[in-house]
Chains A and B, each alone.
Chain A
Amino acid sequence: MRSSNSRVSLLAALLLAASHLGSSLNVPQVYKNTNLLRTIDASKAYIKETIAVIIENTSDKPQTEYYLPLSVPGSSAVSYVECKDKKEGTPCTAEAVDDTTDYPLQYYKITLPKTLQPKSQITLAVTAGITGALTPIPAVIGQGDKQFLSYTAAKFVPSPYFTEKQKTKFRAANGEIPDYTVFEHTEKSGYIVTYGPYDNVEPWKTDAQIDEFTVRFEFTSPVIYMEKLERDIEVSHWGNNLAVEERYWMTNNGAKLRDQFSRLSWATTSYYNPPTAAIKSLLFPLRVGSKDAYYTDEVGNVSTSKFRSDSREAILDIKPRFPIFGGWNYSFVVGWNNDLPAYLRHGKGDEYILKVPLLQGPSQSTSYGKVEVRIILPEGATDVKYDSPVVIHKEERFLHKTFMDTLGRTSIKLTIDNVVDELKNRDIIVTYNYSTLAALRKPLVVLASVFSLYIVTAILGRIDLSIGK
């Protein structure tokens, strides 16, 4: 990797300039990137890529759409893309373009916050979460060994536009970086590896040779991956309660255990509490006022959990039954209650407005394969509308029938694929109508059934079936 030299890259650049074919997506060449800074943050269990770019409209017409591709080869995938005007802070929308011809590029169409006049500039800040891009190398390690992750990306940001000046900063989890590709203008200081600045980079060409850099760095924490999370948010008007239950299917995507697990060395070393690639505990920072927390799994209660709730914070600290090494699995359930008034507001007439966090989760960096959030509203709630802070991939509406229900509770199930914990603690707002009559349904039904039971028994008791006297 270190063998690449300036002559090759120069040749590639020349070739690119000569062919000038443009990518198959046919992005109109109406911009140039004046200055581009890419920051790749690998301190978490996923990649957080931030691109700050000053763009200039080089055409003679006003423009509103800007295209930005992200490279997602192999098992990696984009979790979310968010963008805003960096100076004014106004958000803009980023939409995935349904086109896979330029694999491994995934294009995003960014609608600018305001129309960009010819020759004028705007600074965009685009943030993206990319999962599955980190590979443990070596893939198997011993129980007490250090874990290293490796990340590979293109040296130049794959932009369909001409870039005057660009720079890439790679931020590793810590300063232990045994291998990284060296090009011209490569610099390592502390836990940051910088590539650039590079001037006058031609637009991206699919068929051209691509220079890639690879960084291998130590990662002392486990790579926590939740294959699936089912989160239930249940609203009870009668109980004045908001119950949350989360069911996790967790695995450690870090380097796998080379030999079998040795309790002896685990017990002897854990006394010194060294950093380990195994998941030892998870910390759930909950909203203030959370109470009655529980932690169970498929075989019952797990006693190794601590819950502390006071007026400032509520923290659920759980310890899995066994340390979870790379490739090991564990599934568990946590849940807690909240007082409803803090989350529910009565609107006009029968309208109620619920504002709850769409996702919570452990404070350790985590990525999720699939998240299903079920919001269970009271029986008889109608006209349910919601406003989600993140993109929902699938929505289902159904009736959830449980304790003493006749109709079933109005519920919505929101499915989000490939989530990173960057998106947690954002509130979803749900509005619904709930009439007094609907609230009285349950007591009335119970009353009616008890009475009818009484009447039936009374009638049956009076029937005399005996023969003779």
Chain B
Amino acid sequence: MSTAKSKLFKDPASTESVRSILRVVILLTIAAAAVASRLFSVIRFESIIHEFDPWFNFRASKYLVKHGFFDFWNWFDDRTWYPLGRVTGGTLYPGLMVTSGAIWHALRMISLPVDIRNICVLLAPGFSGLTAFATYLFTKEMKDSGAGLLAAAFMGIAPGYISRSVAGSYDNEAIAIFLLMFTFYLWIKAAKLGSAMWGGLCALFYFYMVSAWGGYVFITNLIPLHVFVLILMGRYSGRIYVAYSSWYALGTLASMQVPFVGFLPVKTSEHMAALGIFGLIQLVAFVDYLRGQVPSKQFNTLLRALVILITVVAFTGLVTLTVTGVIAPWSGRFYSLWDTGYAKIHIPIIASVSEHQPTAWPSFFFDLNMLIWLFPAGVYLCFRQLRDEHVFIIVYSVMASYFAGVMVRLMLTLTPIVCVTAAITVSSIFDTYLEIDSPEEQDEDSDSKKSKKAKELSGGGFLSSKAPFIGIYSITSKIAVIAAFSVYLVLFVLHCTWVTSNAYSSPSVVLASRMPDGSQHIIDDFREAYYWLRKNTPSDAKIMSWWDYGYQIGGMADRTTLVDNNTWNNTHIATVGKAMASREEVSYDILRKHEVDYVLVIFGGLLGYSGDDINKFLWMVRIAEGVWPAEVQERKFFTARGEYKVDAEATDTMKNSLMYKMSYYKFASLFPPGSAQDRVRGAKLPSEGPVLHTLDEAFTSENWIVRIYKVKDLDQFGRDHFAVSAFEAGKKKGKKTGLAGRAGGKKGRRAVRI
């Protein structure tokens, strides 16, 4: 290597403009890669909204652009939670919809009338590019821009984040992770500079975050924790005081403007830490001021007295307020963060969601690949320097690791910090091993020169660089390490692409299967059935289904639902669970009382679609049992040997439940006698299928995944439906076989007398 060339690359001043252009180009490339890797589903399927919650967000966004912001704000939705309705405008985080609405209006202004659906679909990939940029800024504050670029690249393609931000996954997390990283960046900037402006900016983005995602509580607790740890470490300074006070005061006031949050920041336990630290930092500031005024001996006495007094007063105050109910106790979701078994016992509705389950170990590697083992090394490197901002990384790492272990979905909050720390590690390794010149022991002069350069290159922060230069002498070991890490990085990219393509790019509304000739076959049963509902039922028809499908029915079928994924009213959900889990007589009463016109169930038995309602059935039973323990009992759905069966050995309670009947109605007739099989549960079904008396099959999709039943009207002659079907079957009263027949017989006689 020529000296001129090495000078060109090493002298920071002369190459600054080249470097900045390179940085911009690299960042743009990273953003492009981040966006591109999220487009698998659009290319394979179409521009479609995925899964469940995004359908609500999409519907709300459409409402927003159609009716305007103020109507959206006051939106009372009478098409969900029938007959209760939902004060939607006041019970959602509007950040996501307002963002896409603003983009929609901005594009219209420059006469680019893009369909709101396409904006919603592409919002998450677009914001992932911004997240990469925010991660770059954040990491740059920790180490240098080299580490920043690496972190941005990691963040751009880490599956842990892609899982929540592929095209079509139009959920709050789509913008929230960007806001999280950017708020943290602004906080670090504020804490570093002690600037009220940066603190104010941090509060502004905190407000945006609050308006966008319930996970803002993570910021609300992490920043105070950072400050608290700094105070404990004896690192209190005016900078911290200014940054925290400006952030807390402005941020809290701003967050209270979101209707869904309202007075929570001063009323609930989740927000008390921030308030407490705000109080503490005032005291610390006061004490700090006193220290300058009072001689040290008296000061110590004073300090001790003050600490004891304040602790006692604050603690009793908190306890009294909590007991008297001014401050709400911790919410159930929060408890389940500390005790993973809590939800299963007390709030089955939270435990029933698969993303609320504790994380399995392999999923850490699946979602983060090599980053997960670079993560501790990065945290260690932070310990070596331990500036104020490094403390933040350590605190963040500890908290996020714990939470990611408790709940699968919180892997999302762990991913950014893992990317940052892994980038710090890799960047340090590269700093050390990519130094082409080996130190020469003999030549003292050149050695000291190089050490200077090394210092400049590595940002001058490492303890090692303060000492006389210690470097790697052997070219071989340099090459070995660099080659190894290059391979790791390539493997990481391959892994990320593979995971994204295979695990996270399915819309789940549309299923894909392969034909024998290798071509793709689309299974589109959900949309088939939803579209049938949309086109061929009265527009005010009420559809009862399990809450999972509420948002999809609202979004695709545009019909009124009883319960949906909002799950704000446990009793209402339990009512639906009870209707599904009870005998027809009981269910029919519930259906009539709720004016239900159609009942929709998901059945995967024909195709082997495992996420169907029979597999979710036990959760319905459990949730219903939580409200009506006397009428619905989980035990009765298990056989004497404790098995959950759907075949001939299924319990009577199971066989007579509405869910079982609706799922298997006429299913056995599809097969030759005696060979009816449920492909999900691998069970052989009795050749005589269940009989329905109070419902009519209205529509079944092509692969039987969605089955819709119409609730029969009351009989014109005042008979009950069991009597009617017995009459139509031509059976004589009194001579009845089978369970349903017996029930029909009893009532049939009564009906005849009328």
Question: A residues engaging B (CB < 8 A)?
Answer: 259-264, 267-268, 297-304, 321-322, 328-331, 401-406, 449
Contacts and interface: CB of A to CB of B under 8 A. Distances in A.
Contact of A403 (B48, B113, B535, B699): B113
Given A299-B556, A301-B46, A302-B524, A321 B532 contact: yes
Interface of B: 45-48, 110-113, 510, 522, 524, 527-528, 530-532, 534-536, 556, 666, 669-670, 696-702, 704, 710
Nearest to B528: A321
B669 A264 contact: yes
B697 A260 contact: yes
A260 B527 contact: no
Contact of B46 (A264, A300, A402, A404): A300
Contacts of B700: 261-264
24 contacts: A260-B696, A261-B697, A261-B698, A261-B700, A262-B697, A263-B700, A264-B666, A264-B669, A264-B670, A267-B670, A299-B531, A303-B524, A304-B524, A321-B524, A321-B527, A321-B532, A322-B699, A322-B702, A328-B536, A329-B535, A330-B535, A402-B113, A403-B111, A403-B112
Contact of B531 (A261, A267, A321, A402): A321
A267 B47 CA distance: 30
Contact of A300 (B111, B527, B669, B704): B527
A263 B528 CA distance: 13
Contacts of A321: 524, 527-528, 531-532
Contacts of B48: 300-301
A404 B111 CA distance: 5
Contact of B111 (A262, A299, A301, A402): A402
Contacts of B704: 263
What 4 pairs across the A-B complex have the smallest Cβ distances?
A: A263-B700, A303-B522, A301-B46, A321-B528
A263 B696 CA distance: 12
Contacts of A328: 535-536
Tell which of B45, B536, B701 has the most Cβ of chain A within 10 Å: B536
Nearest to A406: B111
Contacts of A263: 697, 699-702, 704
Tell me the dominant secondary structure on chain A's binding face. Answer: loop
A301 B522 CA distance: 11
Given A259-B696, A260-B698, A404 B534 contact: no
Contacts of B510: 303
Given A304-B524, A328-B535, A401-B111, 15 more contacts: A263-B697, A263-B701, A264-B669, A300-B48, A300-B527, A321-B524, A321-B528, A322-B532, A322-B699, A328-B536, A330-B531, A331-B535, A402-B113, A404-B112, A449-B110
Contacts, number: 76
Contacts of A302: 524
Nearest to B523: A303
A298 B556 CA distance: 8
Given A259-B696, A263-B700, A328-B536, A405 B111 contact: yes
B536 A329 contact: yes
Contacts of B524: 302-304, 321
Contacts of A404: 110-112
Nearest to B525: A321
A24 B113 CA distance: 56
A213 B528 CA distance: 43
Contacts of B527: 299-300, 321
Contacts of A259: 696
Tell which of B670, B700, B701 has the most Cβ of chain A within 10 Å: B700
B534 A298 contact: yes
Contacts of B46: 300-301
A257 to B, nearest CB: 10
Contacts of A264: 666, 669-670, 700
B699 A261 contact: yes
Contacts of B531: 297-299, 321-322, 330
Contacts of A329: 535-536
Nearest to A297: B531
A262 B709 CA distance: 11
B452 to A, nearest CB: 31
A76 to B, nearest CB: 26
A314 to B, nearest CB: 22
A308 to B, nearest CB: 16
Tell which of B556, B702, B710 has the most Cβ of chain A within 10 Å: B702
Tell which of A261, A297, A406, A449 has the most Cβ of chain B within 10 Å: A261
A18 to B, nearest CB: 54
B519 to A, nearest CB: 11
Contacts of A261: 697-700
Nearest to B666: A264
A304 B531 CA distance: 15
Tell which of A299, A401, A405 has the most Cβ of chain B within 10 Å: A299
A143 B696 CA distance: 15
A297 B536 CA distance: 15
A283 to B, nearest CB: 20
Contacts of B666: 262, 264
A449 B46 CA distance: 33
Contacts of B45: 301
A247 to B, nearest CB: 14
Contacts of A330: 531, 535
A331 B696 CA distance: 25
Given A263-B701, A404-B111, A404-B112, A299 B535 contact: no
Contacts of B710: 260
A405 B698 CA distance: 48
A301 B531 CA distance: 12
A447 to B, nearest CB: 14
B688 to A, nearest CB: 15
B114 to A, nearest CB: 9
Nearest to A405: B111
B103 to A, nearest CB: 16
A310 to B, nearest CB: 20
Contacts of B699: 260-261, 263, 322
A330 B531 CA distance: 8
B390 to A, nearest CB: 30
Contacts of A300: 46-48, 527
A47 to B, nearest CB: 28
A260 B536 CA distance: 12
A236 to B, nearest CB: 16
Contacts of B47: 300
A298 B666 CA distance: 31
Contacts of A268: 670
Nearest to A404: B111
A431 B744 CA distance: 74
A304 to B, nearest CB: 8
B490 to A, nearest CB: 35
Nearest to A301: B46
Contacts of B534: 298-299
Nearest to A296: B46
A465 to B, nearest CB: 12
Nearest to B113: A402
Contacts of A304: 524
A329 B535 CA distance: 6
Nearest to A266: B700
Nearest to B556: A299
Contacts of B670: 264, 267-268
A297 B666 CA distance: 30
Contacts of A299: 527, 530-531, 534, 556
B509 to A, nearest CB: 8
A250 to B, nearest CB: 9
A356 B197 CA distance: 63
Contacts of A403: 111-113
Contacts of B111: 401-406
B441 to A, nearest CB: 48
A299 B47 CA distance: 11
A412 to B, nearest CB: 20
A143 to B, nearest CB: 12
A253 to B, nearest CB: 15
